[in-house]
C-alpha cells in the first residue's frame, strides 16, 4: 500500500525550535497511551505507544536512541499529540489502528510496509490451535488483533498456551509425532497427537480462547466459575481445583483486547477540560468498538458557562465534518433549546436521527471519562502556563480595579471547631501560580475569654499583625516581602478588619501599597421554580451537581451563581461570572487557603486529643506531663515509645509507664 501524506492546511505548528520541542515534551502526560508526531505542515510522521508517554518520547530526543530515523524526527516535528488509554494493551491496538489509517512516514519505513500480525484460530480444524499470521483470509477461521509488533503478539500467544492448553505444533508434526513432547510434560498441551483426549473438553478450551481474545473477559470468568461449581457439586474435586487455579490465573492476567467496547458500537465521546477561560475539547471517534481517531480543539478567553461553551463547540465541530454516528456522548448536559436545535441540525447532516446523551454511569460513562482524561492531558500539553497566568492576572486587575496585575498574592483563612484549636493559613501565589514553599500556618493565641475563642475577626487581625511584623523583622528572622494583593476569606466584616489591622501597623493600602479584597463564600441557592438546571423536567438535581462539578463550578442546589468580591470604598460586591479566568484564579487561591487551614486545624485537634488523654491518666500530673512532652516532643512519640524509654522520665515507674501506653492505645503485655 502506498504511503499517504495528508497535510492539514489549517495546521499551525507549535514546535519550530529545539527549545519549544523540549518544553512540549515536558508537558506530555506520564500515562499509558499513544503519541502522534506531526511535521510542520500537519502530516503524520510517527505514531507510537508507551506505558509512560512522556518518558518514552523524551528518549527520542535525549541522544540515546540510535535508530536512523530519530534525528529526522527532531528536525521535522511540528507538534506532538497524545491519546491517553486505560492500559498498555489498549494503547497497543490504538497504535495499530492509527498506523493503518494514517500511514505515518517513519512507521512505514520501520515496518517495511508489511501487514500487522494477527492470531488465527480455526475451530473446524482437527485439534484447533492458535497461530500467528500476517494476512486475514475469508476462510471461516477467527482472527484476533491486529498486533503492531511480533513481541506483543507472541506475548499474548504465550498467555493463551499457559492457561488454555491448546496444541502448539503444526499439522505435519501432529500427524507424525510418536510420543508426547515437552509441552505435555510441563502441562501446557494434552498431547492429542498420541494420547486419547476428550474432544468435548478440548472444544470447550477452544471456545474459551475465543472469548479471551475477543475481550469478553467477564463472560469467560463467569463461565469458568459455573464449571467450577458444577464440578464441585458432582464431587469432581480434582477438576474443580484445576478450574479454580485457571480462574485465579486468568483474573490476574486478563486484559481487554478491545480498546473501549466489546459490543461493536460506533459513537463519538466528547471530553472537556477547562481552567477558567481556557478550555480543551477532545472527541474520541469510536467505530465498531475501537477508537479509530480523535479530534482536539482549544479555546482561550471563554467567559461563558461550560454547557454553553460545549454547545458552541459541538455546532462548529460537526459543521466542518460529516456526521457518521447516531449517538454522541457528552460529559455535561447542554441547555434544552441548544440540544433540540443541535439534534435537528445533526439529523439534517446525517440523514437519520442523532442523539445527544449524557451517560450517568456504566460503560459509556467510563468512555466519556477517558475522553475527559485526554482533554486534560491535551490541556497540560498545549497550554502555556505563564501566558495563561499573565492573562488571568491582567483580567483580575481590570475586573477589581487594581492599579496593576498583582505579582504576589496572599490569601488568609481561619479554621476551628466551635472555637477550639483555631488555626489560620497563609497561601502565596507568585505570578499566578502557587508558591508552596512560602505557605505558612498560624496558631491563634487564646483570648481573655478562654482557650476556646470564636472570634474570626480578632483572629484575622492577629494573623495579619504577625505577618506584617515579619516584613520588617530586624532580629535576624526570615523576612517576608509584602504582597501586591491580600485576599481574605469572607465578606465586608473581614475586609474591614483586614484594613484596620494593616492601617494600625502603618501599611499603606491601595495603589501605593497593598491592595486588599475579600472573597465571600458561595451560598447555597434554592431550586428555581420549574427548572432542573438545563431547562428539562427529566434531569435530576444530582446530575446537575455532577455536571457543575465537572465544569469546576459550584451549582448550589441547581444553579451556578457568580462569586462576590468586596473591595474598599465600594458598597456592592463585584461579581465574577462562572467560566472566567479571573474567577478560576480567585477560587483556586481561596480553596488552597481553606485546604491548608483545615489541614492545620485537624492536626492540632488530633494532637490536642492525645494531650487531653495524657492529662486524664491517673498518676500523670502537670509536672509529669510537661516532662514527658519535653523528653519526647509530642504525644504521638510518647505513644510509640517503649516502657523502658518512658521510665527515663522522672516520676514515671514501670506501672505508670504501662498505664500511659495503654491509655494511648498501645496495650503492653
Confidence of residue 33 (pLDDT cuts 50, 70, 90): confident
Better-scored residue on pLDDT, 69 or 492: 492
DSSP state of 49: E
Structural domain boundaries of the chain? 18-111, 117-215, 267-383, 392-523+561-598
Q: May I ask the CATH architecture of the domain 392-523+561-598?
A: 2-Layer Sandwich (3.30)
Q: For residue 479, give the C-alpha cell.
A: 523576612
Lowest mean pLDDT among 108-117, 607-616, 633-642, 659-668: 108-117
Bridge partners, residue 514, by sequence? 509
Q: For residue 642, give the C-alpha cell.
A: 517503649
Region 65-85 average pLDDT: 80
pLDDT > 70 in the chain, percent? 74
DSSP state of 514: B
Q: Do domains 18-111 and 267-383 have the same CATH topology?
A: no
pLDDT at residue 262 is higher than 70: no
Question: pLDDT tens across 177-231, in order?
Answer: 888 888 888 777 888 888 888 888 888 888 877 776 665 556 666 777 777 788 7
pLDDT of residue 406: 92
Strand-pair category, 574-576 with 327-329? unpaired
Question: CA torsion angle for 315, 361, 268, 286 (degrees, to 10)?
Answer: 170
Full-model pTM: 0.45
User: Is the CB of residue 270 less than 8 Å from the CB of residue 283?
Assistant: yes
Backbone φ and ψ for 647, nearest 5 degrees, come out as -70, -15
Helix or strand holding residue 72 (H, E): helix 70-76
Q: For residue 608, give the C-alpha cell.
A: 490536642
User: Is the CB of residue 410 less than 8 Å from the CB of residue 592?
Assistant: no
Confidence of residue 649 (pLDDT cuts 50, 70, 90): confident
Q: May I ask the CATH architecture of the domain 267-383?
A: 2-Layer Sandwich (3.30)
Question: pLDDT tens across 333-372, in order?
Answer: 988 877 888 888 888 888 889 999 999 888 889 889 888 9
pLDDT at residue 455 is higher than 80: no
pLDDT at residue 535 is higher than 70: no
Domain over 18-111 is classified CATH 3.40.1440.10: yes
Q: For residue 378, give the C-alpha cell.
A: 491535551
Nearest Cα neighbor of 40 from 76, 81, 5 is 76
Question: pLDDT tens across 580-600, in order?
Answer: 778 888 888 988 888 887 876
pLDDT of residue 544: 37
pLDDT at residue 1 is higher than 50: no
Question: pLDDT tens across 280-290, in order?
Answer: 888 888 876 76
Amino acid at each position: 500500500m502506498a504511503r499517504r501524506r495528508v497535510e492539514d492546511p489549517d495546521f499551525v505548528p507549535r514546535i519550530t525550535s529545539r527549545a519549544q520541542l523540549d518544553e512540549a515534551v515536558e508537558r506530555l502526560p506520564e500515562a499509558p497511551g499513544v503519541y502522534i508526531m506531526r511535521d510542520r505542515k500537519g502530516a503524520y510522521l510517527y505514531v507510537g505507544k508507551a506505558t509512560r508517554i512522556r518518558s518514552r518520547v523524551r528518549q527520542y530526543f535525549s541522544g540515546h536512541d540510535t535508530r536512523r530515523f530519530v534525528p529526522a524526527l527532531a528536525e521535522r516535528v511540528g507538534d506532538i499529540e497524545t491519546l491517553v488509554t486505560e492500559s498498555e494493551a489498549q494503547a497497543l491496538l490504538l497504535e495499530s489502528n492509527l498506523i493503518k489509517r494514517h500511514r505515518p512516514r517513519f512507521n512505514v519505513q520501520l515496518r517495511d510496509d508489511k501487514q500487522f500480525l494477527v492470531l488465527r484460530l480455526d475451530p473446524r480444524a482437527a485439534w484447533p490451535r492458535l497461530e500467528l499470521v500476517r494476512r486475514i483470509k475469508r476462510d471461516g477461521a477467527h482472527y484476533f488483533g491486529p498486533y503492531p509488533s511480533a513481541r506483543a503478539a507472541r506475548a499474548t500467544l504465550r498467555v493463551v498456551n499457559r492457561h488454555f492448553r491448546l496444541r502448539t505444533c503444526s499439522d505435519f508434526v501432529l500427524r507424525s509425532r510418536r510420543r508426547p513432547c515437552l509441552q505435555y510434560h510441563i502441562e501446557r498441551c494434552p498431547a492429542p497427537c498420541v494420547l486419547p483426549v476428550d474432544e468435548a473438553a478440548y472444544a470447550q478450551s477452544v471456545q474459551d480462547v475465543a472469548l479471551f481474545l475477543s475481550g469478553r473477559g467477564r463472560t469467560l470468568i463467569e463461565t469458568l466459575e459455573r464449571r467450577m461449581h458444577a464440578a464441585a457439586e458432582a464431587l469432581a474435586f480434582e477438576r474443580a481445583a484445576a478450574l479454580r487455579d485457571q480462574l485465579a490465573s486468568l483474573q490476574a492476567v486478563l486484559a481487554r483486547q478491545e480498546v473501549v467496547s466489546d459490543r461493536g458500537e460506533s459513537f463519538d465521546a466528547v471530553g472537556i477540560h477547562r481552567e477558567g477561560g481556557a478550555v480543551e475539547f477532545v472527541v474520541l471517534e469510536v467505530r465498531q468498538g475501537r477508537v479509530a481517531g480523535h479530534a482536539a480543539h482549544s479555546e482561550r478567553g471563554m467567559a461563558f458557562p461550560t454547557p454553553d461553551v460545549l454547545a458552541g463547540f459541538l455546532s462548529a465541530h460537526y459543521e466542518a465534518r460529516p456526521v457518521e454516528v447516531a449517538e454522541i456522548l457528552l460529559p455535561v448536559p447542554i441547555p434544552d433549546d441548544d440540544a433540540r436545535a443541535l439534534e435537528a441540525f445533526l439529523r439534517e447532516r446525517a440523514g437519520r436521527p442523532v442523539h445527544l446523551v449524557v451517560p450517568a454511569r456504566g460503560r459509556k460513562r467510563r468512555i466519556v471519562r477517558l475522553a475527559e482524561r485526554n482533554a486534560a492531558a491535551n490541556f497540560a500539553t498545549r497550554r502555556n502556563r505563564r501566558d495563561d497566568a499573565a492573562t488571568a492576572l491582567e483580567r483580575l486587575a481590570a475586573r477589581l480595579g487594581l492599579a496593576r496585575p498583582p505579582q504576589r498574592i496572599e490569601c488568609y483563612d481561619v479554621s476551628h471547631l466551635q472555637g477550639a484549636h483555631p488555626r489560620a493559613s497563609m497561601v502565596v501565589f507568585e505570578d499566578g501560580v502557587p508558591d508552596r514553599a512560602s505557605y505558612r500556618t498560624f496558631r491563634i493565641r487564646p483570648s481573655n475569654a478562654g482557650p476556646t475563642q470564636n472570634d474570626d475577626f480578632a483572629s484575622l487581625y492577629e494573623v495579619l499583625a504577625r505577618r506584617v511584623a515579619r516584613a520588617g523583622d530586624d532580629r535576624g528572622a526570615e523576612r517576608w516581602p509584602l504582597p501586591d494583593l491580600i485576599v481574605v476569606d469572607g465578606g465586608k466584616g473581614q475586609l474591614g478588619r483586614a484594613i484596620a489591622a494593616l492601617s494600625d501597623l502603618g501599611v499603606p493600602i491601595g495603589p501605593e501599597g497593598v491592595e486588599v479584597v475579600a472573597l465571600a463564600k458561595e451560598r447555597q441557592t434554592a431550586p428555581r421554580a420549574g427548572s432542573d438546571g438545563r431547562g428539562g423536567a427529566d434531569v435530576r438535581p444530582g446530575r446537575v451537581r455532577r455536571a457543575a462539578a465537572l465544569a469546576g463550578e459550584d451549582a448550589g442546589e441547581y444553579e451556578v451563581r457568580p462569586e462576590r468580591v468586596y473591595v474598599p470604598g465600594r458598597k456592592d460586591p463585584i461579581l465574577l461570572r462562572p467560566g472566567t479566568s479571573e474567577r478560576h484564579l480567585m477560587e483556586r487561591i481561596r480553596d488552597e487557603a481553606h485546604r491548608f487551614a483545615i489541614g492545620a486545624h485537624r492536626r492540632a485537634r488530633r494532637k490536642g486529643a492525645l494531650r487531653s488523654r495524657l492529662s486524664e491518666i491517673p498518676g500523670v500530673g502537670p509536672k509529669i506531663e510537661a516532662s514527658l512532652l519535653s523528653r519526647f516532643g509530642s504525644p504521638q512519640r510518647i505513644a510509640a515509645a517503649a516502657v523502658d524509654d518512658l521510665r527515663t522520665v522522672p516520676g514515671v515507674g514501670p506501672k505508670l509507664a504501662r498505664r500511659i501506653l495503654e491509655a494511648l492505645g498501645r496495650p503492653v503485655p
